[in-house]
Amino acid sequence: MSADDALFEVPGPREAERAGRGVHPSRGGDVERVAAWFTDHPDLEERFSAVFRQSLDEVMDGQRTGRYDVNVLEKTEKTYLGTKVEIVCRAAFGLARGEKMDYRVSGVDVDAKFSLDGKWMIPREATGHLCLLMAANDRDSVFTVGLVRIREEILTQGGNQDHKRNISAAGRGAITWLFRQGKLRKNLLLNLDDVTRNALENVSAGQNRVDQLFRQVHGRIIDRNAVVTAAKQLDAPKRVRDARIRLAPEGVIILGHQNESPRIAGALKLPVPEKGTWAAARIVPAPGVTDRPQVSIGDESYVVAEPGEPRHPAPSIRY
């Protein structure tokens, strides 16, 4: 929690007040208690990142649809995304069901509310209850998580046809933020530059597009979801194995997480892939003296190729 949250949630006195009330904790104390339950997780940012990444990827269903941009989802899919986040978040934190709301956290009912644009729609029945407000922006690779008790005063007037209302600009000041700019794991395909994206979209989905992905995107971690979305089929490892064979004549290597891969990635100053991810590069034999990082493969030294350097077939690697 950042410093200015103290304006709205002063822990000391309220905690004391709550203690005095026994089983009827003060309402302010509830927010602190639930916030503390979450912030007690040392890997909290990674967990929320995984919740949003997983939810977005599952609903986009790239392996079947080739989609990687949440903006192209249909309305029913966007609506469902909120339910998916609720389910994935529940599983990620092992949360029980609340008495009236989605979750029970530290003995407090908490409702899950997800919104792509941070304009949470609050239903009438949430009034008086705590809401876990969640938003994810896939293009900027950031997410937001906050806690607030829903009161009339923090909501906009009016409401939509379902009698749901937004949190007003003034009301947002009442939110206790767990993350204002949490780091969302990048959506590789969404974040490609236009030239690379066009190069991908110029070949049809399948092995050819997977080849193109590893031919074009070098020195970056490429995850399983990017591969199955380019392939529009399951079994990313198989697609990667085939791409290795097909790109070897061009000098492109695709490093994984085991055998010779970590050593080669480390020596060439490439990102070192974890399980289920890969990193590609085009390599050429080291040209005598060079200031580029080198790696020995077999009997020869290699460097990452510079643009324009002539092709040289990749050496045999134990991937």
Rule CB under 8 A: which residues touch a second copy?
61, 64-65, 74, 76-77, 79-80, 82-83, 87-88, 90-91, 232
Our CB check for a second copy shows the closer of 90 and 197 to be 90
Residue 304: CB minimum distance to a second copy, A: 36
Residue 204: CB minimum distance to a second copy, A: 12
Identify the DSSP state of 139. Answer: T
- Terminal Cα-to-Cα distance of the chain (whole angstroms): 43
Q: Which of these, 147, 135, 144, lies nearest to 176 by C-alpha position?
A: 147
Distances (CA, A) of 144 to 9, 77, 181, 224: 18, 21, 6, 25
Residue 60: CB minimum distance to a second copy, A: 10
User: What is the C-alpha separation between 211 and 221, in angstroms, rounded?
Assistant: 15
For residue 173, what are its two tokens? 């000041």
User: What is the C-alpha separation between 108 and 94, in angstroms, rounded?
Assistant: 15
Our CB check for a second copy shows the closer of 44 and 87 to be 87
Note whether 255 and 279 are within 8 A (CB): yes
Our CB check for a second copy shows the closer of 78 and 292 to be 78
Residue 91: CB minimum distance to a second copy, A: 4
Residue 26: CB minimum distance to a second copy, A: 32
Distances (CA, A) of 180 to 54, 96, 130, 173, 183: 20, 26, 18, 13, 10
Residue 74: CB minimum distance to a second copy, A: 6
Our CB check for a second copy shows the closer of 45 and 77 to be 77
Q: How many CA atoms lie within 13 A of 293 on its CB side?
A: 10
Our CB check for a second copy shows the closer of 64 and 124 to be 64
User: What is the C-alpha separation between 254 and 217, in angstroms, rounded?
Assistant: 11
Our CB check for a second copy shows the closer of 59 and 155 to be 59
